[in-house]
Chains A and B, each alone.
Chain A
Amino acid sequence: MMSRRDFLKIGGSLLAGSLVGDHGMASAAKSFTGNPDRYGMLSDLTRCIGCRRCEAACNKANNLPEPKTSFEDESVFEEKRKPYVADVQAYTVVNRYYDSNGKPVYRKVQCMHCDEPACASACPVVAMKKSKEGPVIWNEDVCFGCRYCIVACPFHVPAYEYSNAFTPKVQKCFMCYHRISEGIVPACAEACPVEAITFGKRSELIKLAWTRILSEPDKYIDHVYGEHEAGGTGWLYISGVPFSQLDFPMDVGTTPYPEYTKDFLSMVGLTLISWPALFGGIYLMSNHRAENVQDEVVDSEKEEDKL
């Protein structure tokens, strides 16, 4: 959860953004010029041992509700859990799969922190936002709960507090934005005993990912999930098992999501300018025509109205 101060900071930048108009936003949709030093995370699924210590650390760092069973309980692996749904109140969960030899493979699930997030381009009030540090953050002070972010996210991440009547929140992993802002590593990366989660600059993590793949080509498959998916994500994965077997969405493409609505949005201005001219013109023409016609039918009982 973000601190009050972060909210104020974001609020301030929002105000500034609205004063300079939508110039900044429009250019953001054109080509991605994100902060080159933005942070990301790298999950190495070949290292993960399914100890769930990241889950426990996340729970503590974000003051989340106590889980039903302890973080040592392995029975949770019997089903594929999603973070933050009615019964699993967590920002991240680890699920278990098996490779072709029957060896368990664990996959950590959480927000991907997309470079150009679908959720942020959906949000009509900029509550969802890619921070310059890298995490995709959410501003409780402006969110009005339309849930378009949830509709849009290709990774099925954000969740809504449907049972909260007065302060329902959008919930997802914020990459420990509050810790990052203070220069502290995200809780899960810190807690992992086998360094399956690495925090760092995204550009360097990509190099690290490929170094690992290239130095042990038999251990890894030749794919860094997140390097290009959905236009690139802040969270990256490398694995020894094809990602499709671990329930990773394989249909997200490589187009950044804001691109899908860009053409439509750029049409808007054109319509606003050309429609009045077009229909005003038609009005003048048809008005003229109607007058001529009227001269002929005045006497008949036909309805002629021109108000």
Chain B
Amino acid sequence: MIKFPAWINEYIDWISDKLFMGLTIKEYMKRLLTPFNIIAGLIVFVGLYFLIQRYTQGLVAVTEASNELPWGLFLGIGLFTQVPYSSVGFVLGTAVYIFGLKKYHPVLKNAILLGFLGYFFAVVFILIDIGRPWRIYYPMVISFGTNSVLFLVAWHVALYNLVQALELAPPAFEWLGFKTLRRWAKIITLALVISGIMLSTLHQSALGAMFLLTPGKLHPLWYTSFLPWLFFVSCIPAGLAYLIVVSKLTQIFLKDKADSHYLKSLDNISLGLGKASALILITYVGLRLYSVAQENVWQYLNTPYGHWFFVEFSLFAILPFLFYYGVQRKNVGFVQLTALLTIFTIALNRVNTTLIAFNWQLPHHIYWKEGVVLIAVLTIQLLIYRWVVNRMPILREHPDYISEVHLPSAGTSVASKGS
């Protein structure tokens, strides 16, 4: 055995304490062998194998990769569907910090983590999908297509990733015990939240605006000059519903990582989020109806695509009423199920817009390997989420900082509290 000086040993102890949650490596490894982990591991393994194929043989190895449907599931779901869910970070940040709705504070850190991971993995999907991923930063430094909506999306998603990473810094520093850094990170919160609002409103709507360039290719029932607005308005209930569902899942699976305060507040919060979702969804439904009237495309309603549109639209139309019903009855389970349906409906809308109703006159196919890679990457995302929640104070308050949460004027006390 090699003998390290004491300070190195201490350092190693500190690292393994952080990484293995105070367990020895052996114990930790043993704990990892659960059926869930084994299945997840297999999925990830197969997905990574396909990814190697993708990076050595080109996109054709794992995607249908046609010029009729240049974008498949990676962007259709990984970017266009994941990003509206990830609005959760900015929506909750706005609610708590800007509108002062303290009621939602217990879920705020979780919301920011979900938002951050969502955006981070949207970028991962972009890296998988674009032809020369090593040039991902080109729109930032090499060549500026300022007339392109995608240029805007690229910049905003990049900046917003940075903003969310910084927003996530306080719990990360709490976990690592870096008190001074945490204090600094806290001080810039408000600026971060406001820049988050700016970036989010723009890129959420920009994702819709990208399809403004495809009249004639996107089915008339989906193509409308309202696309940016529709994408923006619908991203808010998407994020809220996402949070409702994930909160429920944490209540079941990550109970031991949460404090009682978090667990107790969830029901009330879910009802509040459900109420907000109902209001925004009804706005969305009205806007959507108005856009169809505006474009005057009723004649398409009685076609196969029209029926499909009807399915999507009906789902959207019942959601606000389901939420309203659940909230009125104070039936949390009902609200949670409605939230699950909302998540599905938003995904359906984004997949319809980007894949199914896109180039609707041409045939398209999706290659199954694409689905496997998608699921594998999402599994990695889930595992990272769990890894973080297991370690950092996300669903709970860190013991050292509880007082901040309870103090009425914590804003000033943070600054005066030395480290």
Which residues of A does B touch, CB under 8 Å? 14, 17-18, 22, 25-26, 28-29, 82, 85, 118, 120-127, 142-148, 150-152, 154, 156, 158-165, 167-168, 249, 251-253, 257-258, 260-261, 263-265, 268, 271-272, 275-276, 279-280, 282-283, 286-287, 289-291, 294-295, 298, 303-307
Q: Which one of B55, B132, B194 lies within 8 Å of A144 (CB-CB)? A: B132
Given A125-B138, A148-B150, A258-B147, residue A304 in contact with residue B102 (CB < 8 A): yes
Judge whether A304 and B408 touch: CB under 8 Å. yes
Find the B residue at minimum CB distance from A150: B70
Question: Across the two chains, which residue of chain B brings its CB closest to A128?
Answer: B145
Chain A residue numbers with a CB within 8 Å of B147 are: 22, 25-26, 28-29, 120-121, 258, 261, 265
> Are A286 and B144 touching (Cβ within 8 A)?
no
Is the CB–CB distance between A304 and B406 below 8 Å?
yes
Minimum Cβ distance to chain B for residue A306 (Å): 5
User: Which stretch (B199-207, B299-307, B327-335) binds chain A?
Assistant: B199-207
Q: List 14 A-B contacts (CB under 8 A).
A: A122-B213, A145-B131, A146-B150, A161-B131, A249-B216, A257-B213, A268-B202, A271-B201, A276-B195, A280-B194, A303-B405, A303-B406, A307-B411, A307-B414
The closest CB in chain B to the CB of A260 belongs to B212
Q: Return chain B residues, CB-CB under 8 Å to A260.
A: 212-213, 215
Chain A binder among B57-65, B247-255, B315-323: B57-65
Stretch of B93-101, B287-295, B338-346, B381-389 contacting A (4+ beta carbons < 8 Å): B93-101
Mask for B131-158, Cβ within 8 A of A = 1, else 0? Answer: 1110110110011111111111110000
Q: A148-B150, A280-B194, A286-B100 are in contact. List 12 more A-B contacts (CB 8 A).
A: A123-B145, A124-B151, A124-B154, A125-B151, A142-B138, A147-B70, A160-B70, A164-B131, A168-B131, A279-B94, A283-B98, A305-B102
Let me know if A306 and B190 touch, CB within 8 A. no
A151 touches B201 (CB 8 A): no
Which residues of B sit under 8 angstroms from A294, Cβ to Cβ?
Answer: 408-409
CB contact under 8 A between A251 and B216, given known A145-B132, A276-B198: yes
Structural contact, A282 and B57, CB atoms closer than 8 A: no
Do residues A154 and B190 form an inter-chain contact, with CB atoms below 8 A?
no
Q: Which residues does chain A contribute within 8 Å of B153, judged by CB atoms?
A: 124
Give Cα distance in the complex from A252 to B214, angstroms: 10
For A125, A127, A265, A282, the residue with the greatest tally of chain B CB atoms inside 10 Å of its CB is A125
A-contact 0/1 string along B381-405, CB 8 Å cutoff: 0000000000000000000000011
Judge whether B410 and A307 touch: CB under 8 Å.
yes
Q: Which residues of A contact B63 (CB under 8 A)?
A: 162
Scoring B58, B153, B408 by chain A CB atoms within 10 A of each residue's CB, the highest score goes to B408
Q: Which residues of B contact A168 (CB under 8 A)?
A: 58-59, 131-132
Closest 3 CB pairs of A and B: A145-B131, A286-B100, A162-B65
Interface size class of B (residues with CB under 8 A): 35 or more
Nearest CB of B to A135, in Å: 19
Task: Give chain B residues whose Cβ lies under 8 Å from the Cβ of A146.
Answer: 126, 130-131, 150
Chain A residues, Cβ within 8 Å of B142: 125, 142
CA distance A165 to B213 in the complex (A): 28
Q: B179-203 vs A: 1/0 string, CB under 8 Å?
A: 0000000100110011101100110
Closest to A297 in B: B408
Name which residue of chain B comes closest to A121, CB basis: B147
Partner of B102, one of A167, A257, A290: A290
How near does chain B come to A32, taking the closest CB pair, in angstroms?
13
Q: Which residues of A contact B149 (CB under 8 A)?
A: 122, 261, 264-265
Cross-chain contact of B148 among A124, A159, A165 (Cβ < 8 A): A124
Residues of A within 8 A of B209 (CB): 261, 264-265
Question: Is A25 in contact with B146, judged by CB distance below 8 angstroms?
Answer: yes
B321 → chain A closest CB, angstroms: 29
Q: Is B71 an interface residue (CB 8 A)?
A: yes
**Would you give the shortest CB distance from B54 to chain A, in whole angstroms?**
8
A177 to chain B, nearest CB (A): 19
B416 contacts chain A at the CB level, 8 A cutoff: no
A275/B414 contact (C-beta < 8 A), A264-B206, A268-B152, A307-B404 known: no
Per-position binary interface string of chain B over residues 56-87, scored 1 when its CB falls under 8 Å from any chain A CB and 0 otherwise: 11111001011110110000000000000000
Question: What is the bound-complex CA distance between A287 and B410, given in angstroms?
Answer: 12
With A144-B138, A294-B408 as contacts: A122 and B150 at CB distance below 8 Å: yes
Q: Is the CB of B154 within 8 A of A279?
A: no
B106 CB contacts on chain A under 8 angstroms: 303
A275–B142 CA distance with the chains assembled, in angstroms:
29
Q: Which residue of B lies closest to A144 (CB)?
A: B135
Tell me whether A126 and B408 are in contact in the complex, defined as CB-CB below 8 angstroms, given that A160-B70, A264-B206 are known contacts: no
What's the minimum C-beta distance from A39 to chain B, rounded to whole angstroms? 23
Name B94-140 residues within 8 Å CB distance of A: 94, 96-100, 102-103, 105-106, 126, 130-133, 135-136, 138-139
**A275 contacts B201, C-beta separation under 8 Å:** yes
Asked if B100 and A287 make an inter-chain contact with CB atoms under 8 angstroms apart, the answer reads yes
Q: A25-B146, A160-B131, A305-B405 are in contact. Are A264 and B205 (CB under 8 A)?
A: yes
- The answer to whether A279 and B98 touch across the interface, beta carbons within 8 angstroms, is yes
Q: Which of B105, B135, B146 contacts A303 (CB 8 A)?
A: B105
From B143, B210, B265, contact of A127 by CB (8 A)? B143
Q: Which residues of A contact B186 (CB under 8 A)?
A: 307
Max chain B CB contacts within 10 Å: which of A152, A258, A307? Answer: A307
A126 and B67 within 8 A (CB): no
Q: Does B228 sit within 8 A of A, measured CB to CB? A: yes
- How far does the Cβ of A112 sit from chain B's closest Cβ, in whole Å? 14
Residues of the B chain whose Cβ atoms lie less than 8 Å from the Cβ of A283? 97-98, 190, 194
B194 touches which of A127, A147, A154, A275 (Cβ 8 Å): A275
Q: Chain B's nearest CB lies how many Å from the CB of A207?
A: 29
Determine the chain A residues whose CB is within 8 A of the CB of B358 once the complex forms.
151
- Say yes or no: B265 contacts A303, CB within 8 Å: yes
Asked whether, in the complex, the Cβ of B55 is within 8 Å of the Cβ of A165, the reply is yes
Whole-angstrom distance between the Cβ of A227 and the nearest chain B Cβ: 18
Verify if B217 is at the interface (C-beta below 8 Å from A): yes
- CB contacts (< 8 Å) of A268 on chain B: these are 152, 202
A148 CB contact (under 8 Å) in B210, B408, B411, B414: B210
* Residues on the A chain within 8 Å of B406, using CB: 303-304
From 358 to 373 in chain B, residues with beta carbon under 8 angstroms from any chain A beta carbon are 358
Q: Which residues of A contact B261 (CB under 8 A)?
A: 303
Taking CB atoms, residues of chain A closer than 8 Å to B410 are 305-307
Q: Are the CB atoms of B70 and A126 closer together than 8 Å?
A: no
A-side contacts of B126, CB under 8 Å: 146
